[in-house]
Chain A
Amino acid sequence: MLEKLLPAASTYAKDIDGLFDLITYLVGFWFILAMGVFFYLVFRYRRKPSEKAQYITGETHKQKLAIEVPHYLILLCDIAILVLTFIVWHHVKIEKPPAEDEVRIVGQQWAWTFYHSGADGLLGTDDDIAKVNELHVKKDTVYHYKLESRDVMHSFSVPVFRLKQDTIPGRIIEGWFEPNKTGEWDIQCAEMCGVAHGIMAARIFIETEEEHAAWIAANSPNSADTSMIAKNETVLETQAQEDRSNG
């Protein structure tokens, strides 16, 4: 159902969409039933001069059944939703398939910096490619991400992946995703992070193997962009240290 509104571009997007559909069917059934009964009763028992209202306490056993039976049925629906929720949650947020590539994501007021692993597929080496507000990933590759924040809470949200994870200053949060559709989409910050939160926009580029290799080749580690970020980072860290010693 969600795919009609927004494409799904990660392997677990279909699991989340499936859970969404299950909830829609179960909840939709109860909602329509309750609304139907409600409007029927409102119409049927509208005031008529000839009819006096009935005296019903709702406290005899038989009357209580009218409430009890549906509530057991709702409990059953709850359990069905819970079981699928646990499976989906375990798959998306707890159990990580082995990494094929890595990316380090750093949020700050008000930009995302993405450290791509480069040609060797490892972070923290010389060929890492840092990009501001641009995340380039390869289709059909399991990525592990490491999420950090330089200042306040942000939230790394990629709607086409159905993925969202808050960042917390002082912690590194790990997770995974596997893109399975090429294209270019929004990355949003989903947690209020200050004045320019509304323009903290980034883009994700999901590329085929050849495109991605070409992109890596074109963005050599010593390009101007990267060194600017390194400089920027030093400035920010000095700033943060000064703030700490002042404040």
Chain B
Amino acid sequence: MAEVATADVSHDDHHHEHEQTFWSKYVFSTDHKIIGFQYLFTGIAMAIIGGYFAYVFRMQLAFPGSSVPFFGIVSPSAYNSLVTNHGTIMIFWVAMPVLIAAMGNFLIPLMIGCDDMVFPRVNRLSYQIFLLSAIVLIASFFVPGGGFGGAWTAYPPLSALAKYNATPFGAPMWLIAVALEIVAFLLGGINFITTAMNARAKGMRMYDIPIVVWMIVIASMLFMASVGPLVAGAVMLLFDQTLGTTFFDASAGGDPVLWQHLFWFFGHPEVYVVLLPAMGIVAEVMCTFARKKLFGYKLILYATVGLGILSFFVWAHHQFISGVDPRAAYLFTTTTLLISIPVAIMLFAYIATLYGGSIQFTTAMLFALSFLAEFLIGGVTGIWLGSSGTDIYLHDTYFVLAHFHYTFFPIAIIGTFTAIYYWYPKMFGRMMNETWGKIHFWGTIIAFNGIFLPLFFLGAAGQHRRIYNYQNFPDLAGDNMQDLRVFATISLVIMLLFQIPFVINFIVSLKRGKKAGKNPWKANTLEWVAPSPPPHGNFPDGMPEVYRGPYEFAHPDREDDYWPQNEPGNQKPANK
């Protein structure tokens, strides 16, 4: 099988790397774990920038016109640029690198029991291009005219011509950064899919693969299948910006709406590209801490595939009122509401997994459970927007904004914290402090709801997005509404402050945390067979062999309440 061949490739690499310097070990490494950490820490750094942007523009909304501490007065163009880049950063430079690239890199080889990615050098190239894309984006804030401010959806003609957007350098640089980021993830996606399909441990059948690996693989497939039109669109838009072509210029025969189709054809599957890895992470953590087999493994897997396919047929629900033929709304409302079926199946199966369990409330488990509760809010509020009738009113209001933050926050932030609290012992060999973890958890979750629940009401009262000062609109300037804005902003500041215990806990535990040992959570999957932290090559005691599925907790044939995948046993429990 292919794992033999790949094992050779990367063994070559780590013979060299054993005596290497800091630079070659941590910066130019081909080790999947180091590349995973590079993505993780770059993602966290970008999250700090994105969070800072959110702080600045929320302060402006709560206290319009006053000087924001650590920023100053927020001008309209600065506001637009902050909002645009907050969205761009959080999707492309936080959710994607942390959930897909960092977790995919760190977990896939460990969980399927192989020593590295099948293309380690492609993997390294992927991170380097990603880093370059982040640098281009950050540089775009400092060029003349400032960063791009035409919203993260970048609708032309506004995004196409400097005379409209007033950012002659910011707009093309923004677009180049996004295109580079996409290239990085295409390279990464090839690696994830190939590795998971070809380099599995001996004995690991398709249905023995941990669900998080499946989720990252399916997400990578969705990404690769959906991103083509966006790349084509990005090149056309870049030509419009820099070479004077007129692909999106109606006055010269182009069509600005074309961009919306290309963008959202990618943009909607993209939601599921980041959702799936987070769902996978949550499944792993829930099974371990409920000591339960995942309820309906195959059902979840098939629902995921169905969800992935359906996600290609819903994109125009972002365009109900954008001037496309109104009859298209019949089709896209139908497909959009149908998406509730696979998502409901997945969520119900997750909730059913808790039935009959023995639930330990570790910090990781609290985050995993809160993911379900918060994502449920995000999921159900999508129905109001998916129905074209109510979308006429709610489109582009804060209702939309609150809805997708109730999906993306659980995905990108709660999902990431779940993963970090759960795999930290494996990543760094030590345990994080649980007390501080729980303080971080409650501070984050309560404050998060304090930010976004009021925004549903503001949206339902007709407040639109991307407006830097509501005092210009008499209907929106009332005290009641301003109080809600202030409440949301204060909640945001509290939530940001509650990240300090996390950062301190993370850093202090690196040195002072309790030693983790190989399998501190008594989990079944193969990463817990490797030492903590795993050395280059992952499994120094020999590559593991797999005898059973990943979630054989509390099996009646066994005294221990867990049964590692690699432990030889007389009975091979049927997977059915």
Which residues in A have some Cβ–Cβ distance to B below 8 Å?
Answer: 2, 5-6, 15-16, 19-20, 23-24, 27, 30-31, 34-35, 37-38, 41-42, 45-48, 51-59, 63-64, 66-67, 70-71, 74-75, 78, 81-82, 84-89, 92-94, 109, 151-153, 155, 157, 159-160, 162-171, 173, 185-186, 188-199, 201, 203, 240, 243-244, 247
Contact = CB atoms under 8 A, between A and B. Distances in A.
Contact of B256 (A42, A88, A162, A168): A168
A89 B388 contact: yes
B521 to A, nearest CB: 13
A2 B79 CA distance: 29
Contact of B298 (A2, A24, A59, A173): A59
Interface stretch (B177-185, B445-453, B465-473, B496-504): B465-473
Range for the number of chain B residues in contact with chain A: 35 or more
B64 to A, nearest CB: 10
A198 B468 contact: yes
A42 to B, nearest CB: 6
A190 B347 CA distance: 33
22 contacts: A2-B393, A5-B461, A20-B393, A27-B380, A30-B380, A38-B351, A45-B359, A53-B290, A55-B556, A57-B297, A58-B294, A70-B348, A74-B341, A84-B389, A85-B333, A86-B330, A153-B157, A157-B396, A191-B396, A192-B151, A198-B469, A247-B244
A186 B476 contact: yes
A188 B298 CA distance: 48
Interface stretch (B35-43, B161-169, B536-544): B161-169
Contact of A19 (B251, B348, B389, B464): B389
Given A166-B323, A190-B464, A192-B466, A153 B356 contact: no
B326 interface: yes
Interface stretch (B230-238, B368-376, B414-422): B368-376
A45 B351 contact: no
B356 A56 contact: yes
Contacts of B474: 186, 203
A45 B357 contact: yes
A16 to B, nearest CB: 5
A59 B297 contact: yes
Given A56-B356, A58-B293, A164 B461 contact: no
A23 B576 contact: no
B150 A165 contact: no
B164 A152 contact: yes
Contacts of A152: 155-158, 164
B352 interface: yes
B351 A93 contact: no
Contact of A23 (B250, B383, B457): B383
Given A67-B345, A159-B475, A169-B250, A197 B466 contact: yes
B396 A56 contact: no
Contacts, number: 289
B380 A31 contact: yes
Contact of B345 (A57, A71, A185, A192): A71
B79 A41 contact: no
A53 B553 contact: yes
Contacts of A58: 293-297, 299, 349, 352-353
Contacts of A86: 330, 333
Nearest to B84: A192
Nearest to B250: A170
User: Which 3 A-B pairs have CB atoms at the shortest separation, nearest pair first?
Assistant: A170-B250, A159-B462, A54-B356
Interface in B393-414: 393, 395-397
Given A157-B464, A168-B250, A244-B252, A53 B356 contact: yes
Contact of A66 (B340, B352, B393): B352
B387 A46 contact: no
B389 A85 contact: yes
B532 interface: no
Interface of B: 76-77, 79-80, 149-151, 153, 155-158, 161, 163-166, 244, 250-252, 256-257, 290-299, 321-323, 326-327, 329-330, 333-334, 337-338, 340-341, 344-345, 347-349, 351-361, 369, 372-373, 376-377, 380-381, 383-384, 387-390, 392-393, 395-397, 457, 460-462, 464-469, 472-476, 553-556, 561, 576
A199 B473 CA distance: 8
Contacts of B351: 34, 37-38, 41
A168 B341 contact: no
Contact of B344 (A48, A70, A186, A243): A70
Contact of A198 (B257, B322, B461, B472): B472
Nearest to B554: A53
B287 to A, nearest CB: 10
B534 to A, nearest CB: 28
Contact of A194 (B164, B329, B472, B475): B164
B144 to A, nearest CB: 15
B358 A53 contact: yes
A160 B476 CA distance: 12
A5 B455 CA distance: 13
Nearest to B379: A31
B576 A188 contact: no
Contacts of B153: 192
B472 A199 contact: yes
Contact of B340 (A52, A74, A199): A74
A99 B465 CA distance: 32
Contacts of A94: 326-327
Q: Which of B327, B356, B372 has the most CB of A within 10 A?
A: B356
Contact of A169 (B157, B299, B352): B157
A199 B76 contact: yes
Contacts of A59: 296-299, 576
Contact of B356 (A34, A42, A45): A45
B341 A92 contact: no
Contacts of A31: 376-377, 380
Nearest to A73: B344
Nearest to A152: B158
Contacts of B329: 89, 93
A184 B226 CA distance: 45
B164 A55 contact: no
B392 A92 contact: yes
Given A163-B392, A188-B473, A109 B561 contact: no
Given A23-B387, A66-B352, A78 B338 contact: yes
Contacts of B397: 190
B358 A51 contact: yes
A19 B394 CA distance: 12
Contacts of A171: 250, 323
A147 B79 CA distance: 28
B388 A244 contact: no
A88 B388 CA distance: 9
Nearest to B384: A23
Contacts of A162: 392-393
A71 B344 contact: yes
Contacts of B321: 155, 164-166
Contacts of A57: 293, 295-297, 576
A174 B327 CA distance: 14
Nearest to A166: B322
Nearest to A57: B293
Contacts of A47: 358-361
B157 A41 contact: no
